[in-house]
Amino acid sequence: MLGKLGPHGHRFLGLWLRRGAVCTFFSPRGPGVCDEPPVPAEGRPQEMASKSLPSLLTFLCGSVVGFFLCYQILHILLEKPAETQPHIIHNDPHARHAEDSAHGHLEGQMDFGADISQHRDEDKHVAEELYHRVRVLCWVMTGPQNLEKKARHVKATWGRRCNRLLFMSSEENKDFPTVGLDAREGRDQLYWKTIRAFQYVYEHHPDEADWFMKADDDTYVVLDNLRWLLARHDPAKPIYFGRRFKPYVKQGYMSGGAGYVLSREALRRFVEAFRTNRCSHSSSVEDLALGKCMEAIGVEAGDSRDPSGKETFHPFVPEHHLIKGYLPKTFWYWNYNYYPPVEGPGCCSDLAVSFHYVDSTTMYQLEYLVHHLRPYGYSYRYQPALPEAPAKQASEADRKEGPQEKSGNR
């Protein structure tokens, strides 16, 4: 029946239905009574006029509700929370660089040094003298998939301050450049890569440096502070420094991620140990295996704390160490640290050497905070003493705090 109505018929029907609904509810003579006959299409405006008030009301009602809802939604969407850092806690002391999160990869580079006028009245002669006196070769553990994501930012920031910088990868890359080691990528290959890297360094750059620093591509190293630490030690002595851990090895071993640095003699002995099979090649735990080997070949695990007793090599970013309670008390870290671990301001030396698990933004942020941003005219509380030549024995001269330190604290 409906089909026979045709297009006009449908329109009438629609009108009638609507009209019917309205007059059912709003007829002055009560529901159910409908005294106006259905009108043809031309009568529409008249019809609309009679229904205008209620429909206008619902329309206005709708617009207010719509506006309010939309405002709320937009308000929630656009509210910018204060920036929070991702909360990374690495559950396994020997696990490193698990799956990369896809976010946060910085493209390009930032050069804070491009603007030299800010440093016009900077006196660098002590740092420059140390640069020549305490030569450091840095080699950075990386891989083909991390060159653009991570290694590049190392090159753009702290890497420049090494006397020699090398990137070690499973593949050679002439453009970056990286050294190709006879090894594959993967966590279980770390120790083998480390051995091969040190062998490469010993073979190709033995006389270029006094100290040989190993770091990851997410480690940030302050070379000036490393040199200050090493200046009072003799590179002809078999010793190595890093963040000292106590389990498994009697003299302790150095955390891989926080970076560690070998003296020239330590490097020689280490490479020799593999030639003579004194140390084993196979292990899936790089830093522990290296630590065991070091102990076996008589390389001393040094104390890298500053004269006031604060740690300089750090297995995490500053936030994780500075904030009390950030690392839960059940965390492995508290049992691993060789020296009594500290959280809060006492965690970290003013002259910190390294931080680990540093993402690309934090790499540049640390670069800015360490080498650029400073409080004008501020007289620092901790005034480190000039390092003495290594010929002197380690004595109370090393342990004594700087003469200018302000009294009244610690």
Partner 1 sequence: MLFESSSFLKGMMLGSIFCALVTMLGHIRIGHENITHHEHHHLQALSKEDFLKISEAERVELVKSIRVYCMILVKPKDVGRWAAVKDTWTKHCDKVEFFCTESIKVFESINLETNDMWTLMRKAYKYAYDKYKDEYNWFFLARPTTFAVIENLKFFLLKRDATQPFYIGHTVKSGELEYVDVEGGIVLSIESLKRLNGLLSDPEKCPEQGGMIWKVSEDKQLAVCLKYSGVFAENAEDSEGKDVFNTKSVGFLIKEAMSNNPQQVVEGCCSDMAVTFNDLAPNQMHVMMYGVYRLRAYGHTFNDALVFLPPNGSDND
Which residues 323-352 are close enough to bind partner 1 by CB under 8 A? 323, 326, 344-346, 348, 350-352
- Which among 36-44, 62-70, 195-203, 332-340 is the span making contact with partner 1, rule CB under 8 A? 62-70
Size of the site for partner 1 (CB under 8 A): 94
Q: Which is nearer to partner 1, 105 or 164 (CB)?
A: 105
DSSP class of residue 181 equals: P
Site for partner 1 in 17-56 (CB under 8 A): 18, 21-22, 51, 54-56
Sheet containing 239-242: order of strands:
179-180, 164-169, 136-141, 211-216, 260-263, 239-242, 300-301
Q: Are 136 and 160 in contact (CB under 8 A)?
A: no
**Contact pattern from residue 350 through residue 369 relative to partner 1, giving x for each residue in contact according to CB under 8 A and a dash for the rest:** xxx--------xx-xxx-xx
Phi and psi, residue 253, nearest 5°: -140, 165
**Contact pattern from residue 152 through residue 191 relative to partner 1, giving x for each residue in contact according to CB under 8 A and a dash for the rest:** ----x-----------------------------------
Q: Which is nearer to partner 1, 200 or 228 (CB)?
A: 228
Phi and psi, residue 345, nearest 5°: -60, -25
Site for partner 1 in 209-228 (CB under 8 A): 222, 224-225, 227-228
Residues near 339 by Cβ (< 8 Å), separated by ≥ 6? 244, 303, 305, 309, 311
Token representation of residue 333: 């870290």
User: Rounded to the nearest whole angstrom, what is the least distance from the CB of residue 314 to partner 1 in the complex?
Assistant: 11
Q: Which helix (H) or strand (E) holds 166?
A: strand 164-169
Q: Would you count residue 150 as binding partner 1 (CB under 8 A)? A: no
| Of the residues 274, 331, 370, 398, which one makes contact with partner 1 according to CB under 8 A | 370
- Which among 64-72, 90-98, 172-180, 284-292 is the span making contact with partner 1, rule CB under 8 A? 64-72
| Of the residues 381, 392, 399, 400, which one makes contact with partner 1 according to CB under 8 A | 381
Q: Are 274 and 191 in contact (CB under 8 A)?
A: no
| Of the residues 318, 357, 358, 390, which one makes contact with partner 1 according to CB under 8 A | 318
- Which among 71-79, 185-193, 272-280, 334-342 is the span making contact with partner 1, rule CB under 8 A? 71-79
Q: Are 67 and 73 in contact (CB under 8 A)?
A: no
**Quick one: which of 197, 113, 205, 191 has its CA closest to 159?**
113
User: Rounded to the nearest whole angstrom, what is the least distance from the CB of residue 185 to partner 1 in the complex?
Assistant: 25
Q: Would you count residue 62 as binding partner 1 (CB under 8 A)? A: yes
User: Rounded to the nearest whole angstrom, what is the least distance from the CB of residue 409 to partner 1 in the complex?
Assistant: 7
Q: How far is CA 79 from the centre of its chain?
A: 26
Q: What are the CA-CA distances from residue 409 to residues 308, 344, 351 (Å)? A: 12, 16, 18
User: Which amino acid is present at 193?
Assistant: K
User: Rounded to the nearest whole angstrom, what is the least distance from the CB of residue 237 to partner 1 in the complex?
Assistant: 22
Q: Which is nearer to partner 1, 94 or 153 (CB)?
A: 153
HSE-CB at 4 with a 13 A cutoff on CA atoms is: 1
* Angle at 94 (CA atoms; ends 357, 326), nearest 5 degrees: 50
User: Rounded to the nearest whole angstrom, what is the least distance from the CB of residue 198 to partner 1 in the complex?
Assistant: 27
